[in-house]
Chain A
């Protein structure tokens, strides 16, 4: 894993959490959406918070696809949980919220989990047909 690849993982955590926060804020404005009026969910797309949330999630998506192109899914997903830690840090530094001992424990669990997965290889060997096809395509490229 190079420094650039760690940056890609960090950008997943950053833009994913920021996008979720803006979406949650936007959905609070929208109120409840009934199952019989599912199309009302489209009207939410005009909300500026939802728009910023979607733009952040597009950056998240590109970073996510880049990460999956060089690492396993079971490696990338736990690493993206750093986004939750990012939210706690934002709530302390930006919103000056009090963070309970239980939340600090949650942060510690996530950091240990990410540390565990980051200590191992990012891509594991296997013999899946999809990977053989991938190797063949890469050879052609």
Chain B
């Protein structure tokens, strides 16, 4: 039962983290370069733009679910299982989501980079 709960937490974390990342990325595209905005209109204008974005709040909502789901997962199982499983699966889920929902050009180079990073994370955290 403990294993089932752990994988339920990992699945929830991956789904919520990918959804949150996609929504935040979409919101930031709509808002534009924060550095340029801060230089041209000041920090207050940046905060107003951020706080008035509904999509950004949607992303933060999903990220909050991922955060608490990860916390609960860490209390059920070791970091050596929850950490690499969540991280590696989230990298892959995000690459797929970036291609399908954000229409990013995830070319061979980026897929290769994602796979290298996943392997690296697994090697680091499972050893």
- Hey, which bits of chain A sit against chain B, CB under 8 A? 4-5, 8, 20, 23-24, 27, 30-33, 35, 38, 41, 44, 64-66, 68-70, 72-78, 81, 84, 87-88, 100, 102-103, 105-114, 116-117, 119-120, 124-128, 130-131, 133-134, 137-138, 141
B63 to chain A, nearest CB (A): 8
A-B contact sample (20 more), CB < 8 A, given A4-B35, A73-B94: A23-B71, A27-B71, A30-B75, A69-B29, A69-B33, A72-B104, A77-B91, A102-B127, A106-B119, A106-B120, A106-B123, A109-B119, A109-B123, A110-B124, A113-B114, A116-B113, A130-B30, A134-B32, A137-B31, A141-B32
B22 to chain A, nearest CB (A): 7
Q: Would A66 and B110 count as touching, CB distance under 8 A?
A: no
Name the residue of chain B whose CB is nearest to the CB of A70. Answer: B33
- A20 to B, closest residue via Cβ: B83
Give B46 Cβ to nearest chain A Cβ, in Å.
9
Number of B interface residues at 8 Å Cβ cutoff, please give it. 55
Mostly helix, strand, loop or mixed at chain A's interface? helix
Q: Is the interface of B mostly helix, strand, loop or mixed?
A: helix
Complex contact A33–B75 (CB within 8 A): yes
- The answer on a CB contact under 8 Å between B117 and A114 is yes
The answer to whether B94 touches A126, judged by C-beta atoms less than 8 angstroms apart, is no
Q: Please tell me which one of the listed residues B79, B103, B112, B124 contacts residue A24 in the complex, with CB atoms under 8 A apart.
A: B79
Beta-carbon contact of A72 and B113 below 8 Å = no
Determine if A32 and B120 form an interchain contact, defined as CB atoms under 8 angstroms apart: no
Neighbour of A74 across the interface among B5, B29, B99, B120, CB < 8 A: B99
B89 within 8 A of A: no
Across chains A and B, which 9 residue pairs bring their CB atoms closest together, nearest first? Answer: A109-B120, A106-B123, A113-B116, A106-B124, A110-B120, A124-B105, A113-B117, A117-B113, A102-B127
- Cross-chain contact B123 with A69 (CB below 8 angstroms): no
